[in-house]
Amino acid sequence: MDSITKLQHKIRNIVRKIEHHNLKGGIKNCCNTNKQTKQCKRSDGKIFKLPRKFSKHRCLQGVKGFTMRASCAPYKFCNKSRGKLHGGQQQQYDAIAVFQMGTISGNVTFKQNGDNVDVSYDITGLEDGDHGFHIHQYGDLSEECKSACAHFNPDNTLHGGLYTNQRHAGDLGNITSRGNRSQGTLTAINISTDQKHPRSIIGRSIIIHEDKDDLGRGGDIESTKTGNAGKRLGCAVIGLSKYSSC
């Protein structure tokens, strides 16, 4: 890794932390609070005053009764222990999307990492260059990629990039193809592979576009909707991964 690549990686990590911990008004996500935090914003946008009668740590151990449920409301969507599965494994709710459309093939995997999701992709069959990469609202491919509809956008915001202040939850920026192959990893915030989470991506679709996404900076209306990423080249439904052999 050369010095420029290292610097870019460092900048991305810094921006990711800022994006993740500072929502509107500088309010932290409720899942990332500490004892000094005075208010927080839950994943569905609701704001709560802190501290509460029950601590976050206590709430994540299990909620019983109306009083405790009300006190623990800020932490409703924070990751909890899922319990042990076969062989002592702990369920992770990882997901996968498999592309097999025309010349385009490959896999995209989604691994929950705290309140973020690590996205790894290995796609062949794309022309060399940058391609818009987005999670779309539906996993309906009855009309091929068209019926997946718009970007996943639970906050009803304008389109942006993976690291911009304003973005759709499904905005993953661009992937780059070289020598007919696109391979890499990125980290997405404000989505989840847990089906019960309000920002769950399970059952939705991921789409690769023909053109480069301008990340909402194109200066026209279409840029604020799709990033002018152009034609939908390939699409795949996001489903749960098996965690052990069948």
Residue 232 a catalytic site member: yes
Predicted confidence at residue 37, as pLDDT, reads 87
Residue 137 resides in a domain:
yes
Residue 245 resides in a domain:
no
β-bridge partners, 112:
117
Catalytic residue of the set 20, 168, 197, 204: 168
Catalytic residue of the set 134, 197, 199, 204: 134
Catalytic residue of the set 20, 42, 131, 159: 159
**Together in a domain, 114 and 218:** yes
**Together in a domain, 69 and 99:** no
β-bridge partners, 151:
136
The domain boundary residue, chosen from 75, 106, 138: 75
Residue 168 a catalytic site member: yes
Predicted confidence at residue 23, as pLDDT, reads 41
Residue 41 — φ and ψ, nearest 5°?
-120, 125
Catalytic residue of the set 131, 197, 209, 214: 209
Return the CATH number at 151.
2.60.40.200
Residue 145 — φ and ψ, nearest 5°?
-75, -20
**Together in a domain, 131 and 54:** no
Predicted confidence at residue 225, as pLDDT, reads 96
Q: How many domains does the structure of the chain reveal?
A: 2
Residue 246 resides in a domain:
no
Residue 159 a catalytic site member: yes
Residue 209 a catalytic site member: yes
Predicted confidence at residue 91, as pLDDT, reads 53
CA-angle at 43, arms to 77 and 93, nearest 5°: 50
Predicted confidence at residue 17, as pLDDT, reads 52
Collect the ranges in the chain with pLDDT lower than 50: 15, 18-25, 81-90
Residue 82 resides in a domain:
no
Residue 151 resides in a domain:
yes
Catalytic residue of the set 131, 167, 197, 232: 232
Domain that holds residue 10: 3-75
Residue 136 a catalytic site member: yes
Give the length of the chain: 246
Catalytic residue of the set 115, 171, 213, 214: 171
Residue 151 a catalytic site member: yes
